[in-house]
Each structure stands twice: as C-alpha cells, then as structure tokens.
Chain A
C-alpha cells in the first residue's frame, strides 16, 4: 500500500518564473512611485496647511484663502477647454472613422497625432504671439454686442490674454488625445451593430447615433477625462498665455482672470523661499486631489451603466 499520492505540481519553467517576477516588479513600481510622490506632497504640505500671513509672505490670511481661487481657476479653465475640445474631437474622430475615404482618414490620423507631439511651450508662444492678438477684436465685438450676457461682460482685455484664450490653447492641446482615443473606440464598433441599424432603415447619421455613439460612450468618457487631466495639470502654456490677477470670476473676456494651480507654481516657485515653498507644494497636493476626484467621477459614470455597455 502506498500513501496518498502527492498533488500533481505544474512544472515550473525558469522562463515563466523570470517573466512573472519581472511583471510583478514592473507593476509594483507604479505603486511605489505613487506612494513616494504622495508622501512627499503630504509631508511637505503639512507646515503650509497651518501657516498664516506672518509665516509665509505669499499668504494674505491662511492657506485655504490662497488656494481657493487657484482651484477655481484650474477647474474653470480646464472645463472650458473640455467644453470646446470634446465636440470638435468627437467630430474629427467620427469623420476619420466613418466618413472620410480611407486614404484621407489615415493622413488625418497622422496629422492629429502630430499635434500631440508639439511641446507645450510652443503652444504657449503661439498663444501669446498669434492667438491672443487674433481673437482680441472678436472679444471686443462680443463685449460690445453681447456684453449683457454675464460671461461676456466688459471691460474687454486689451491684450486678448484672457482665461478664454488660455482655454482655447488648452483645447488645442487636448484635442489630439481625445480624438485618438475616440477614433479607436469608434473603429471597434461591431459591424453587426452598424448593419443592424442600417437594415432598420437608418441613415448614416442615425446609424452613428444608434450604434456607434452608445457603444463608444465609455470610451468617450475615458478620453474626456484624460483630456481634462491634461488640461488641469498643464503648466507652461497657461503660465505664458494667461495674464492672471488671481480673482474669482466667470467673466471670460476681461483682464481680470483667475490663475491656475500649475501655472501659479511655475511662476512663483523661482522666487519662493522658506515656508512659501511648502505653500506651493501644498497647492500641488490639492491639484493632485482634484485630478484624482475627476478620474473617480468618470469611473463611476462608466461603471453605472456597465450592464448596458455591450461587454457582456
């Protein structure tokens, strides 16, 4: 009689082991990096959170009064940029995926990707040198003719370097990423669903509305969030284009504009000393939290209708 047979072990090959260990290592590096950044932000922020005007020269009263307008400016500029960029990007993506002849579509795809490769400092220069002077007359016209509308209230900025111009530059910067992701998602729409719509007597646009857009909805949301994340964190272009005064205002066309967290850090950091450095790092922590919250909300939106996503 023998004892019960030992459980059969799968043979362990050295190649498998090396690959699995290196994959685990690569995966854990992300967590380590994130933890290191978060620790740095939190530790360095603590002195700033309880500081007042006497400790840090850039504070008027306390930290929250300082960061509030910056948070507003960051979200306002990014939201404007997304509002401008999203419809345009979806339009470009649909044109590339469903309307353009194949050759034109691939050329257009390259052009859009090329736009993503332009450094943000170049966009900043373009914003100051070309876009701001170009839109200033339009802004004057808007203030003169539609000044009763609160967003367009005067007096108009003489340079054109307003929050709206900054949002336009941001929009140009996030269009490539939103377009690229949306296009990929639209191209993956199952032919079966497109044919189902067409066979019911859908026109091309109705087919896109019944089959392509609903299928691509989670992808569009992900793309929008990635774009929004980039707009929230964009530093150089905003720092260069926007002439900020730090006010909290929704007016788009005046010379009184809120600043953004990232641009403010870039502009203030070179001259910061002592606890002022901690204050700026603490604003960075707030930006980190805002971006994280935006991502969480987007995930929640996508998950809410997962049942209807077509993934099952």
Chain B
C-alpha cells in the first residue's frame, strides 16, 4: 500500500520562471514527511509535482525525476491521470463536492475509475473509508445529506476519506489544517498518526509545532529573495531539524528568528 518516493534533481518551471531548483530527497514508505518554509518558497509547488497536479496550471513543467518504487512519474509513457490515482491529495481548504451527498463524495474517486461496484461493496467501502478518516460515528446517520453541511474539520476529514477510498499509495496534504480550528486540527493530526500505518504521507505546513508533532522527517525550503527559485535547504529527522539543525538558515527559521 505504501511506497518509497525518490526525487532526483528536480527543477519546476512556470513558463520561463524557475520556481523550485535542484531538489533531491528520499521519502521512506509508511512515514510522515513535513515540508516547512516561508510563504512562496516553493514547498506547495514541489508537493504538487509529486502527483503531477502542478500540470493543471498552464505552462508548468518539470525537469528531473520523481520515482515511486523505481518508476519515474515523468516517463513519457506515464499517464498523469493514473499517477493521481496512486498518489492522493488533500487540499488547503476542504473541498467536498457540493452537489454530492457525503456517501457520493466518498465514492467519487471509485466511480471515476469506471469500476462497477455493487451496492453492498459500496456501503462497505463508505464505512471503512469514513472509519479510516475518523468520521464514521459523526456522519453515519446522515450519509445522504450534502457534504457541504458538515463543519470545516469534518469536511476536511471527508476529503481524506474520499482520498483513501481509492486506496492510494501516497497521500499528499497541502496545509490541510490551515483553515481549521485547533480542535479540528488535533483530530486531523491524530488521523495522520493512524494513516501512517498504511500510507506514505507528505504534508506541507506553516505550523512548526504541527511539523514537530506529526512528522518523522522534515524538509526545510527557503528562497534567497523574490523572483529567485526556492531550494531545499535541509532535510533530516524531525528531531534533528528542530533541536540541532546543521544549517544556520534552518535554525533561524525554526527558532522564529525570521519567517
């Protein structure tokens, strides 16, 4: 279910603008990796290259390789649609489909994969996915109600349920708690801890406490200035990054001296 991610010399461009330069790192299966850094340093951009979602923006392209268990995502024969079925994503703001019920939202990805699914299988999948997202007990009596009627934190867990329903190998989370209150944030963090048993998780966060709470390894990104490309400054065990980083910039950032 979970796979190793290897990134080699990745450059990300928007048109002619180099947004992220020369990133190489390895992400272990069944681990949580956090990307931290100031706004605009390219950590979200880099995250989106891991399931080719950056290509949605016209003019975006990539040089280098991203290997998931040895297979290059950017091989010319690879279909980005298939990549995204393996590498799920949770966004900054909860985005359940407003025209669908809670149940339809969970099944949205499965239905896309053109699989015929029997009613009992569908019900089982809805239950297990919502259980997996710690949402089942709160919504089991109103599965046919619209997903947009839930609270923000519940909506975000619904989005996580929707992502895990297609059984991806990796889950990318782009600041998943930035629109949530502290209690909902805690619920998501607990959930990340559980999801780690089965999935490889990569999370972008602005909240350094969150990075130190949930992640095994942390990557620090930074830019030299506006218009310059973002770079990976340091990548290490989370405890090392927060207690004894080897780069001065990392230490300044995590200790709150800038950013």
Residues of A within 8 A of B (CB): 190, 192-203, 206, 210-211, 214-215, 217, 305, 307-312
Contact = CB atoms under 8 A, between A and B. Distances in A.
B130 interface: no
Interface string B131-165: 00000000000000010110000000001001100
B250 interface: no
A200 B84 contact: yes
Contacts of A305: 99
B54 to A, nearest CB: 11
A193 B98 contact: yes
A91 B82 CA distance: 26
A210 B97 CA distance: 8
A310 B99 CA distance: 6
B91 A192 contact: yes
Contact of B56 (A198, A211, A215, A308): A198
A307 B150 CA distance: 12
A202 B101 CA distance: 19
Max count, chain B CB within 10 A of own CB: residue among A198, A206, A312:
A198
A202 B85 CA distance: 8
Given A308-B146, A310-B148, A312-B148, A200 B95 contact: no
B53 A199 contact: yes
A190 B148 CA distance: 14
B84 A217 contact: no
Given A195-B56, A199-B88, A201-B109, A211 B81 contact: no
B27 interface: no
Contact of A201 (B93, B97, B100, B113): B113
B95 A201 contact: no
Contacts of B163: 199-200
A200 B100 contact: no
A195 B98 contact: no
A199 B89 contact: yes
